[in-house]
């Protein structure tokens, strides 16, 4: 195990992760567990970070990431999983596709972890989209099924997200990337790692 992981108290998943239960309902969706199931099915190694684990560097606490992922590319991933509905339905019934907002704390935290782990790692958001509506509107690539739910997992590098995002809400301290720009910079996770069987 790399020295950085030992210092941070991270442990690799045995046999690619004996993940926690991924039983989900429409009102209780564990997006991170769904992504772990996807990684296990694809045989992509990963290391989960404890939800209660927060690093302290230079006297400042850093928001924790979710997973270290080893997709077999030149750089390993520091991943923050963001679960979103696809499409999102507003209280007035409007449908919004490609929701991708994150908090400023998410941006700052991933940036700090990127500095901690160094150039061998790349900070990334993974948007776990719970799919609904007509399949011809879904993101590219095959859907991944967990129980009776279907997901699409899309990823974007932190550096790309940062260069395109705009302030979304000052009161909630959130940012997002305009839809057309987001579709240009985001990629299906299945473009990386071993080919699906």
pLDDT, mean of residues 45-74: 77
pLDDT, mean of residues 150-174: 97
pTM assigned to the model: 0.83
What pLDDT, on a 0 to 100 scale, did the predictor assign at position 18?
Answer: 32
What pLDDT, on a 0 to 100 scale, did the predictor assign at position 29?
Answer: 78
Write the DSSP string, 126-137.
Answer: EEEEEE-S-GGG
- b/e map 116-148, b = 16+ CB within 10 Å: bbeeebbbbbbbbbbbbeeeeebbeeeebebee
Closest CA to 69 of 129, 123, 116, 14: 123
Binning pLDDT at 50, 70 and 90, where does residue 17 land?
A: very low
What pLDDT, on a 0 to 100 scale, did the predictor assign at position 100?
Answer: 98
**Token pair 């979103």 in the structure block, residue:** 84
Over residues 29-47, the pLDDT tens digits come to: 799 999 999 999 999 999 9
Closest CA to 42 of 159, 182, 161, 151: 151
**Was domain 3-191 assigned CATH 3.40.1350.10?**
yes
What pLDDT, on a 0 to 100 scale, did the predictor assign at position 63?
Answer: 87
Contact status, residue 113 vs residue 124, Cβ threshold 8 Å: no
Give the strand pairing for 76-86 and 67-69: antiparallel
CA-based diameter of the chain, in Å? 51
Mean pLDDT of the chain: 84
Over residues 167-197, the pLDDT tens digits come to: 999 999 999 999 999 999 999 999 987 665 5
Surface-to-core class of residue 12, CB atoms within 10 Å of its CB (0-12 exposed, 13-18 middle, 19+ buried): middle
Calpha distance 144→153 (Å, rounded): 8
What pLDDT, on a 0 to 100 scale, did the predictor assign at position 42?
Answer: 93
Q: Residue 49 pLDDT more than 80?
A: yes
Q: Residue 21 pLDDT more than 80?
A: no
Q: Residue 86 pLDDT more than 60?
A: yes
Could you tell me the CA-to-CA distances from 176 to 65, 98, 105 in Å, in that order?
A: 19, 10, 13
What pLDDT, on a 0 to 100 scale, did the predictor assign at position 70?
Answer: 96
Give the strand pairing for 76-86 and 121-131: parallel
Could you tell me the CA-to-CA distances from 69 to 4, 39, 123, 134 in Å, in that order?
A: 14, 9, 10, 31
Over residues 103-149, the pLDDT tens digits come to: 999 999 999 999 999 999 999 999 999 999 999 999 998 999 999 99
Calpha distance 166→174 (Å, rounded): 9
Mapped to the 3 state alphabet, what secondary structure does 105-126 carry?
HHHHHHHHHHHHHCCCEEEEEE
Calpha distance 15→123 (Å, rounded): 24
Q: What percent of the chain has pLDDT over 90?
A: 69
What pLDDT, on a 0 to 100 scale, did the predictor assign at position 128?
Answer: 98
């Amino acid at each position: 195990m790399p020295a950085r992981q030992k210092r941070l108290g991270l442990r690799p998943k045995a046999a690619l992760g004996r993940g926690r239960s991924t039983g989900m309902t429409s009102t209780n969706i564990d997006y991170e567990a769904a992504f772990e199931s996807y990684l296990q099915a694809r045989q992509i190694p990963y290391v989960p970070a404890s939800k209660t684990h927060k690093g302290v560097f230079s006297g400042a606490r850093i928001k924790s990431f979710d997973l270290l992922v080893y997709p077999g590319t030149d750089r390993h991933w520091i991943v923050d999983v963001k679960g979103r509905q696809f499409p999102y339905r507003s209280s007035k019934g409007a449908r919004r596709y490609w929701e991708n907002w994150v908090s400023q704390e998410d941006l700052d935290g991933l940036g700090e972890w990127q500095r901690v782990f160094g150039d061998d790692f790349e900070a990334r958001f993974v948007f776990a989209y719970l799919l609904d509506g007509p399949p011809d509107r879904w993101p590219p690539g095959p859907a991944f099924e967990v129980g009776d739910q279907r997901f699409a997992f899309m990823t974007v590098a932190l550096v790309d997200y940062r260069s395109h995002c705009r302030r979304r809400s000052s009161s909630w301290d959130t940012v997002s990337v305009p839809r057309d720009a987001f579709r240009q910079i985001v990629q299906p996770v299945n473009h990386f790692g071993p080919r699906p069987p």
